[in-house]
Amino acid sequence: MEGVAFPSSMQSWIESLPDDLLQVVSIISESGGGVWVVGGSVRQGLSEVVPHDYDLTTNLRPEQVMDLFGSSNSIDVGAKYGTVIVRVRPDGDLYEITTLRCDQEYLDGRRPESVIFGDSLLEDLERRDLTINAMAVDLARQLLYDPFNGYQDLQNGVLRAVGNASTRLSEDGLRVMRAYRLMDQGDAGLWSPEDDLASALRDCQYMLKNVSIERIWQEFRRILAGQNAAQVLEKMSEDGVLSTIFGGHEYDLTGQARLADISSDEVVEARLAMMFRADDASGLMKRLTMPKVVITGVQELNRCLSHLPNATSVSELRLYRAVLGSRLNQQLACESALATSEVEEVITLLASLPANVAGDAPLADGHWIAEMTGLSKGIKLGRLKEWLHRIQIEEDLPTLAEVEARLKQLEWQDGEPTEWPRFYWP
């Protein structure tokens, strides 16, 4: 296989390579081994995107790599599959180095039964999923290896399988998810699969049943967090992949394209909440091995969804803001995306509403209330604390003295505490 000189678009990537990586490469080269940067970082380098990690491949066997870096600077994370993690110094950056391989049969539709280590870079590139992921860079000789014209596909924004698309997808269902994830190229927009891959994606989704649910969720999470997630979801929906992943559970993509820019953790929950707003999808989310925080986040968003404060009531606006706390922006982003009635008015009002003078935390704690009322720990004290907190927020009480004055007006001695107002929304 012939390499070509680096295209000029790679220059800034080459110049920005971390020192630690260059050292890893020279340690292997000086020992006589071959080493290439492969995979996503080459793809990103050629698209002038800064990579978040670098995958390396070598013709050395895993034991040789470990000998070279020594036991304190190398970890065997999957020597069976040829993968070792190395660093050049304590606390240095970690790099995954995988020995060149030619994969064996795909028996369970996921991992090859065994891997055979090889000496051929071409064979190693042949087993990769997409042409844009099947390029290798030899830093020592300044050569790019691109046997499947991945660079051309990259320039045209096309996703193409290495080899026959349906064969490749039916070897490994994870490639279905990876293909949808890679359609989203951030600032470069939505890339399309070429025709063969497009139809293989529709025909081979039965393969997803062979993929571990954790891996599906990992890829799906990245899809949801992507810059062009709405379009990818639309495509997955058209192709029937969303139904497959959700096991037939109902979903609705309304509003996805209008969701504002919020942090990536927030956006994942927001997209799920909007998708599953019609009914409780907790069971499905659990089955998809989503972390508990994500599931709770989605449930919280859905609990409040479409329940906006009354725009004419300052006290409601204050309560809404205080109860939602750090989730306020995320909630409003969903409401706005779904065009809940009066949402823009509420957003404007909240933006100009001064912060509460005493902040949003309760001024009156349990000890103080116990002292003032003689109540001992229990439901009555707990609910009275919530009631006072709510009044403090709604009326913007500035001091504990004001809270005390309001406490004197409450008929807390009598009545059913479970009926008292709570610090709660809606």
Name the site residues for Mg ion (rule: CB under 5 A). Answer: 39-40, 55
Rounded Cα distance between 122 and 14, Å, is: 22
Task: Say if residues 375 and 415 touch (Cβ distance below 8 Å).
Answer: no
The kind and range of the H/E element at 231 are helix 229-238
Residue 174 binds to ligand ATP (criterion: CB under 6 A): yes
Nearer to ligand ATP, 132 or 333 (CB): 132
Question: What is the SS3 assignment for 69?
Answer: helix
Q: How far is CA 228 from CA 64, 293, 301, 322, 337, in A?
A: 42, 24, 22, 32, 15
Tokens of 368: 């103080």
Q: From CA 301, how far away is CA 191, in angstroms rounded?
A: 31
In whole angstroms, give the CA distance from residue 174 to residue 111.
Answer: 10
How large is the C-alpha radius of gyration of the chain?
28
Region 235-254 residues binding ligand ATP, contact defined as CB under 6 A? none
Which H helix or E strand runs over 352?
A: helix 343-352
Q: Which does 35 bind (CB under 5 to 8 A by kind): ligand ATP, Mg ion, none?
A: none
Answer for the pair 12, 48: CB distance below 8 angstroms, yes or no.
Answer: yes
Of 104, 137, 119, the closest CA to residue 6 belongs to: 137
Q: Between 189 and 359, name the residue whose CB sits nearer to ligand ATP.
A: 189
For the window 117-156, what string marks contact with ligand ATP as x by the rule CB under 6 A? -----------xx---xx----------------------
- Judged by CB under 6 A, does residue 39 bind ligand ATP? yes
Smaller CB separation from Mg ion, 84 or 275: 84
172 near ligand ATP, rule: CB under 6 A? yes
Shortest spacing between CB 200 and ligand ATP, in angstroms = 14
Q: Which listed option, ligand ATP, Mg ion, none, makes contact with residue 239 (CB within 5 to 8 Å by class)?
A: none
Q: How many whole angstroms separate alpha carbon 9 and alpha carbon 49? A: 11
40 or 157: whose CB is closer to Mg ion? 40
Q: Which is nearer to ligand ATP, 153 or 394 (CB)?
A: 153
Q: Kindly state whether residue 184 participates in binding ligand ATP, applying the rule CB under 6 A.
A: no
Residue number closest to ligand ATP, CB atom: 40
Q: Does 92 bind ligand ATP (CB under 6 A)?
A: no
DSSP annotation of 12 reads H
Residues 50-89 as x/- pattern, contact with ligand ATP by CB under 6 A: ---x-x----------------------------------
Task: Assess 47 for contact with ligand ATP (CB under 6 A).
Answer: no
Rounded to 5°, the CA angle 289-294-297 comes to 145
Minimum CB separation of residue 134 from ligand ATP in Å reads 6
Going from the C-alpha of 226 to that of each of 181, 189, 232, 233, the distances in angstroms are: 8, 10, 9, 10
**Distance of closest approach, residue 137 Cβ to Mg ion, in angstroms:** 13
**Distance in Å, CB of 267 to ligand ATP, minimum:** 18
Indicate the residue among 55 and 394 with the shorter CB distance to ligand ATP: 55
Closest to ligand ATP by CB, 87 vs 178, is 178
Buried b (16+ CB within 10 A) or exposed e, 164-182: ebbebbbbbbbbbbbbbbb
Q: Which is nearer to ligand ATP, 101 or 235 (CB)?
A: 101
Give the nearest distance from C-beta 227 to ligand ATP in angstroms.
13
Query: What residue ranges bind ligand ATP (CB under 6 A)?
Result: 39-40, 53, 55, 128-129, 133-134, 172, 174-175, 178
